[in-house]
Each structure stands twice: as structure tokens, then as C-alpha cells.
């Protein structure tokens, strides 16, 4: 058994398979999940686990070279926007519709129980060297 980090075996295994340039969509409970990417659904109840908690756990384990969020988050969910802006030096914004299109190319989707709108981010994996 692992001592720490991400204990969910499905998520830990999916993370181990990621490579440079792969996309990881971390999304709220309401985000439409496209066909194609591997999905690890962590949603349990509304708000559990939170977008913030899941994102923090993923950032402890992943090298991220860029991130994309929906422009709408700035007005509809300032708390999530502040979290994203504070977490990524390379954060860009697109329309929510464009983010949904981009998410179809993700290698992994991690669905949280987040119940606040537009708490979604598409991460681009980097390398540690």
C-alpha cells in the first residue's frame, strides 16, 4: 500500500501512464465528459471532493507546463478563477464551448464533486527535467 500521495488506484495508475504533452481535464460535476479520454470519476456528493482538493493533489504529482480554463470562470466563479490564476504561470482562457472541444483531446478526465460553475481546467503535462 502507498504511504501517501494519491491513494485512488485508478487515478494513480492513470497518472503513471501520462507523458509529455498529454492533456488532463480536471472538471466539476456538471462538465460534459467527452467520449475517448480515460475517466476517473471521483464525485461522491455535491461538493465532495472539491475541485480545489483534487487539483492540489494532482499538482503535487504532475509536472504541468500549461493550463486552459473557461473565460466564464472569471465572473461566474471568482474563487475558482483565483485558485487557477494563483496555481499556473501559464494559464490561458478560452470560451467554455472551446474548452469542451479541447477536452475531447485529453488523455485523462478527472471528475470532481464540485458543484460551483466553471470549475474546470485542462492541464498540459510537462517533464521534470
Residue 110's φ and ψ, nearest 5 degrees, are -115, 110
Write down the catalytic residue from 8, 9, 13, 20: 20
C-alpha cell at 10: 485508478
Q: State the residue for C-alpha cell 521534470.
A: 128
> Does the annotation mark 20 as catalytic?
yes
> First vs last Cα of the chain: how many Å apart?
28
B/e letters for 42-74, b = 16+ CB within 10 Å, e = fewer, are: bbeeeeebbbeebbebbeeebebebbbbbbbbb
- Known catalytic residues are 20
Amino acid at each position: 500500500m502507498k504511504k501517501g500521495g494519491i491513494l485512488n488506484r485508478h487515478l494513480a495508475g492513470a497518472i503513471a501512464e501520462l507523458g509529455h504533452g498529454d492533456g488532463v481535464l480536471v472538471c466539476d460535476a456538471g462538465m460534459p465528459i467527452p467520449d475517448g479520454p480515460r475517466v476517473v470519476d471521483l464525485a461522491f456528493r455535491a461538493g465532495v471532493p472539491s475541485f480545489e482538493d483534487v487539483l492540489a493533489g494532482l499538482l503535487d504529482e504532475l509536472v504541468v507546463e500549461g493550463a486552459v480554463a473557461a473565460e466564464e470562470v472569471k465572473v461566474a466563479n471568482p474563487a475558482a478563477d483565483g485558485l487557477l490564476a494563483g496555481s499556473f504561470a501559464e494559464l490561458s482562457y478560452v470560451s467554455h464551448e472551446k474548452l469542451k472541444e479541447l477536452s475531447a483531446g485529453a488523455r485523462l478526465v478527472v471528475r470532481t464533486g464540485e458543484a460551483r460553475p466553471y470549475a474546470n481546467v485542462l492541464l498540459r503535462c510537462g517533464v521534470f527535467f
